[in-house]
Structure formats: structure tokens, C-alpha cells
Amino acid sequence: MLNVRLFDLTTLLFGAASVCYVAALYGKKDTIARVGTWICIIAAVTSTAAIGVRWAESYKMGIGRIPVTNLYESLVFFAWSVNLFYLFVEWKYRNRTFGAFVMPIAFITMVFAFTNESSIQPLVPALQSYWLHAHVITCFIGYAAFAVSAGVAVMYLLKAKREEAKSDGGVIGLFPPTKALDDLVYRSIIWGFPFLTAGIITGAAWANYAWGTYWSWDPKETWSLIVWLVYAAFLHARITRGWHGRRAAILSIVGFLATIMCYLGVNLVLSGLHSYGGS
């Protein structure tokens, strides 16, 4: 199908962008980083077209549903979201070093998607609801913001360690100041947290429509609550306790690991209403 070929092209573009950003970082060549930016823009256009084509193809097959309902589609949508959020961050902060830590996340996600079933399949009647659109889209926008926050948190930890050693040279010397990195870790979570909250609320509404209960302590629901609590703790500690720097960066990384567990670990390893492995 055309949409799969476009997504395969997107995978190559994300890989090329990742290589460009890493090469630019180590080679200290901004020209290569600019190439990476343009590749990300082309990838954004290609993946957006792929999503539209897949949606149109589902209608031609008589299924007619938004393409975010199985593991393959959720992975490509997540990578698409990460790329768009990264481009916004790069434009906002006028710094391309973030790409070496964020774009590999999108690339690895697409490679994993490539290993999964890519056919368009109909939804079971119980899941055919407009709540699906709101739930999935809001969740993955939040996930994308958390991915960027975690990538920047890694940069912060590396930069802070180098500053403690009173050495400002090398690749890490090209990173933005720790204050700017710390601010971006926080702002990314500020952006993602409301979307995660909206995703949980719309998910509860969808669950009530599909299964007759708003909350059943399904493993996915439990882990989504854990993720929400981790980021709520981050914001609470930041606002009331003034948490900055290393502790905030580590909590951001812990939150993203919990997000990965919620998104993939639960769906592939544990059994439940959201399990891909059991479908």
C-alpha cells in the first residue's frame, strides 16, 4: 500500500536526520545540522501525507477509521508527533543540538513499527467511537512532549557534569546553557501534562462507552495513572519546592521510562483490554 511505502520513506528520513544531527554535533558543522532540519521538515510532510493516505485507503476498503488504532499506527503517529514537537522546539530555541538526542527516538520508533503488522484492520464494534480520536491524539501529543523533555534532560545531565568538572570544551560545550536546558525540560512537561490528563479523561469516557465502566484498573489504566502521578509530582516539586537541575532532569527521565512502560510494556507484555499481544 502507498501509505506503508511513505512510512518506510519516513523511517529513512528520520534515520538520515539523526545521522546529520549527530555528525553535526561531533563535527561542529552547523551546515550539516541545517540539512538535518530540512530532512525533518520533509519527513513531517511525508509522514503527514502517509497518515492522510492511510485514512483515505481505509475508507476505500469500507472500514473508514482514523489510522491510530493498532500498534503499527500508534507507533508511526507517535514518531510523527515527536518530529513535529521537535521542530517547534528547534525553531523556538534556535538550537539544533537537541536533534541528536530527540530524533533518534523518532527513528527507533519507526524501525520498531516496521517490524509490526501494517495492514489496515477494522475495529471491533465496541471500539467504534469518536472518543477514540480524542483519546489517542491527546495521549500521543503528551507522549511526544515527554520524549523531548527526556532527551533534553539527558543533555542537561551531561552538561551539568561537564560544568562541575570545569571543562567547557568538546561536543558538550556546544549544548545550550544548563539553565536553558532545565527550562526546556520543565516547559515540555508543562505542555505535555494537560494533554496526558485530557487523554486519561477521554479514555475513561471511551471505556464507559465501550465496556460500561469509566475505570476498571486494567494494567493500561493503572500505568497511565502512574505516569500521571510521576509528572504531577514533577510539577508539584518544581512549583512548591523549587526543584531544578539534576533532580528535575532525573525525574523527567523516570517519567518517560514510565511512559514507555505504559505505552509499550503494558500493551505487549501484560494481558488486558489494551493488550496488542493478545489481539
The pLDDT tens digits for 153-201 are 999 999 998 888 776 667 888 888 899 999 999 999 999 999 999 999 9
User: Is 175 found in the same domain as 140?
Assistant: yes
Count helices and strands (H / E) in the chain. Answer: 9, 0
Matching residue, cell 477509521: 65
Residue 72 C-alpha cell reads as 503499527
The model's pLDDT over 179-192, given as tens digits with 9 standing for 90+, comes to 999 999 999 999 99
DSSP 115: T
User: Is 108 found in the same domain as 4?
Assistant: yes
Instruction: Look up the domain containing 259 and give its range.
Output: 128-279
Task: Give 125 or 176, the one with higher predicted confidence.
Answer: 176
Closest CA to 117 of 77, 81, 79, 73: 73
Burial of residue 23 (number of CB atoms within 10 Å: 0-12, 13-18, 19+): middle
Report pTM. 0.88
pLDDT score of 277: 40
Count of CB atoms situated within 10 Å of the CB of 153: 27
Residue 204 C-alpha cell reads as 475513561
User: Is 105 found in the same domain as 172?
Assistant: no
Select from 123, 156, 180 the last residue of a domain.
Answer: 123
The values of phi and psi at residue 213, to 5°, are -150, 140
User: Is 73 found in the same domain as 183?
Assistant: no
pLDDT score of 270: 60
User: Is 78 found in the same domain as 172?
Assistant: no
Q: If you average pLDDT over every residue of the chain, what do you get?
A: 88
**Number of structural domains found in the chain:** 2
pLDDT score of 271: 57
Select from 123, 142, 157 the last residue of a domain.
Answer: 123
Name the most confidently modeled range: 40-44, 56-60, 98-102, 220-224.
40-44
The model's pLDDT over 51-92, given as tens digits with 9 standing for 90+, comes to 999 999 988 888 877 888 788 998 999 999 999 999 999 998
